[in-house]
Structure 1
């Protein structure tokens, strides 16, 4: 028993460190922390003899559960700084919610390797776009029609849920491409994260089943010990990230976001290639 507890300490420390970084990134970039949480859980779970296919499913579901309280903390910090665009949030939320539920249902049917590949491809594409265009002007002068905004919101909800991330990974580059200021895009995307994660987690808890090789503490597809280890730290450090973000200019924010995405996305693609 003592040996088992001692062997678990490195895992606990890794989860806690991940919680700190995920919280800071959630506040800094409006991403909900999933771009850190998903790959870390994906690799840690495999130390417990969980298959890569099961690991990505558990990592995605657990990440979405962690995003809920993290996003609430991040939203509060950004709202008080005036960085949440309420008209955009109101229009996009309905589309995001519906397609978040659809995406969470698809998770139970899509192959785990496909989810891993999807995460890597989306992360790398978005990161390269932001990295090479960090100081470039917006592609468009204003947001498109309400119809096209609905399409963008639907894709943001669907794809974000399926790879276990908040609204920032897709929401921030989309909004900034249409001349929404980066700080405002980050704050609004933080709110997207809550609209994405909350219905998705409820759906997964109702319909998701724990894989046969799931580790100790799984409730459906959500790993409760990982959730409990990380949530206090993500919630605590999300406002810290928001304060840091307020001191950086838009080009710096985009570069930080791009580097974080590029590292995590590349690592996931490497894992798929080695399977």
Structure 2
């Protein structure tokens, strides 16, 4: 398997874009890292099923340092996000392991459709409600609700290789009543932890099976190193910008980015 110059340029671009989006929107960047890696691996001539599993697993591994970089920057400004982020994240790790194991047995096309539909819902919701002020909390932020939300979002993280931030953001703002910027900070901490569970699953399920060179299970070490080199510093910078943008603008940017990716995954856009 030959790694071409175009392939490395593609990995660098993924790192720059996904890293900035991670810090800016508290989403881990997996919703960009997964599809873009998938398209790159297909370009190398890899089998689509294998390309999807490597994209999912490697994305989660990259999310750990990337989201941590963004979380560190948010913590410098907001000191009340650490506890809720860690509480959700500990349950998220459990869900991440479960989701990663489920993904290894589901057909690729089903994963892409699930991924695309969920993202489409998130995108439309954010664009429609961009002008709406912070909603009141609909449910209490207690240990039972934290456990249920943490595990469910964790499963989506492991299943789709995305850290789960895009779904957690919706729940934090619309159900728990957190502001957009506080939700971004909590989400960054959550996905730093949750991605660990999913990563472990993909290492175990791909051990001795994945023929892609320089891999640890379904984690491509080449992709991980190149993308993370750029995503980690860009996530810190993105988090810095997030605190300067108005709430409405953050919601609009988030909605448009997710809308594009959802249509791409569903095959509506080329």
User: With structure 2 as the length reference, what TM-score do the two structures score?
Assistant: 0.92
Moved over 4 A (4+): none
Partner of 1:267: 264
Partner of 2:82: 86
Partner of 1:12: 8
Residue 105 (1) aligns with residue 72 (2): no
Query: What does 1:116-155 correspond to in 2, within 5 Å?
Result: 116-141=112-137, 143-144=139-140, 146=142, 147-155=144-152
Q: Output the CA distance in 2 between the equivalents of 1:18 and 1:145.
A: 35
Query: What does 1:1-275 correspond to in 2, within 5 Å?
Result: 8-82=4-78, 85-141=81-137, 143-144=139-140, 146=142, 147-177=144-174, 178-209=176-207, 214-270=211-267
Q: Output the CA distance in 2 between the equivalents of 1:77 and 1:167.
A: 20
Could you tell me how far 1:143 is from its partner in structure 2?
4.0
Question: How many residues matched?
Answer: 268
Deviations 1:196-232 (A, max 9, x none): 11122123213324656x5433332111111111111
Gaps of 5+ in 1: none
User: With structure 1 as the length reference, what TM-score do the two structures score?
Assistant: 0.90
Structure 2 CA distance for partners of 1:150 and 1:66, relative to 1, 3 Å:
same
Could you tell me how far 1:144 is from its partner in structure 2?
2.7
Residue 261 of structure 2 aligns to a residue whose secondary structure is helix
Structure 2 CA distance for partners of 1:203 and 1:84, relative to 1, 3 Å:
farther
Could you tell me how far 1:158 is from its partner in structure 2?
0.6
Could you tell me how far 1:112 is from its partner in structure 2?
1.6
